[in-house]
Chain A
Amino acid sequence: MLDAIDRRLIAATQGGLPLVREPYRVLAEQLGLDEADVLARLQGLLDRGAIRRIGAIPNHYALGFTANGMSVWDIADEVVADVGAKVGALDFVTHCYERPRHLPIWPYNLFAMVHGKTRDEVRDKVAEIALLVGSAARSHDILFSTRILKKTGLRIAA
């Protein structure tokens, strides 16, 4: 569970670290904490998975990765854990989840998000996934986003 200080750390860093030589010292000053305490807390949050990673967070769109396709797969339940692990390990897959089917409209239980510079590039990458998955996939599809209807970031109040 996160405590109040963790939540203040989130609120203070969700827009990024101070871009100075000693970012954690500046952050600690902003929050009225010791630098050593800030470093220890961030390490703990990283170890627990509350922080996925620390570093450059690319803007896919600005870097030219303007196509995104949600590839979806119908994989036998007995092998989905194994197949998902392999698909997630591909370097062009940004998210990979198992989710429930909704029959008959939705037979797919494995979701792998693929980013590319063009839709054709996304299709090529999905074809690579299909080769890797082989006969474990009963069917698959790619859902391209055609319009962003709403987009807000993570917003945590202190």
Chain B
Amino acid sequence: MASLDPTARAIVNGLQGGFPLTPRPFRDAGRALGLTEDELLEGVQDLTTSGALSRFGPLWNAEQVGGGVCLAAIAVPLQRFDEVVEKVNAHAEIAHNYERAHALNMWFVISSDDPRRIEQVIAEIERETGLAVHAMPKTREFFVGFKVEV
């Protein structure tokens, strides 16, 4: 893990949201953090170059901009795990897929511009693997106050 100087820490902790929509946003945001425009700009450049930030900018809501999204899980027999990974991941609509320690040991997110594809992909995977796909669409989203503190 990269060690962060006070400027970097102020940026990570203080600027995970609320970056101003103004013509000189680094100047305006810097004021609140006690940094000059160039200090903030260089700090953000350093953090993205070092990889401490994935990026700096808008966090888009995949569901609103990308059509349908659905979490799904399968209980995969261990001796078939690699084969099933290959069959599931072969679908372009699978955005991520994690192995997790549970009887339901494969958890993946299906994402498509066309929401109708979600159901079709689930049916295709069930047919290709002979295993039940448990769809877990979110029925309610709760506001999260999450911020990484460094």
Q: Is the CB of A21 within 8 A of B27?
A: yes
Say yes or no: A91 contacts B147, CB within 8 Å.
yes
1/0 per position for B109-142, CB-CB distance to A under 8 A?
0010000000000000000000000111111111
Question: Once bound together, how far apart are the Cα atoms of A39 and B28, in whole Å?
Answer: 15
Is A4 in the interface zone, CB < 8 Å from B? no
B21 x A24 contact (CB < 8 A): yes
Contact residues of B: prevailing secondary structure: mixed
Q: Which of A14, A56, A150 contacts B16 (CB 8 A)?
A: A56
Interface size range on B against A: 35 or more
Residues of B contacting A10 in the complex (Cβ-Cβ under 8 angstroms): 60, 65
- Interface: B80 (CB within 8 A): no
A55 engages B98 (CB within 8 Å): no
Beta-carbon contacts under 8 Å, A7-22 to B: 7, 10, 13-17, 19-22
A97→B138 CA distance, assembly (Å): 6
Within the assembled complex, what's the spacing in Å between the Cα atoms of A88 and B62? 19
Binding site for B on A (CB under 8 A): 2, 6-7, 10, 13-17, 19-25, 35, 39, 42-43, 45-46, 48-60, 62-65, 70, 80-81, 84-85, 87-100, 102, 105-106, 115, 141, 143-152, 154, 156
Closest 8 CB pairs between A and B?
Answer: A88-B142, A16-B55, A53-B17, A64-B1, A17-B57, A98-B140, A149-B97, A147-B99
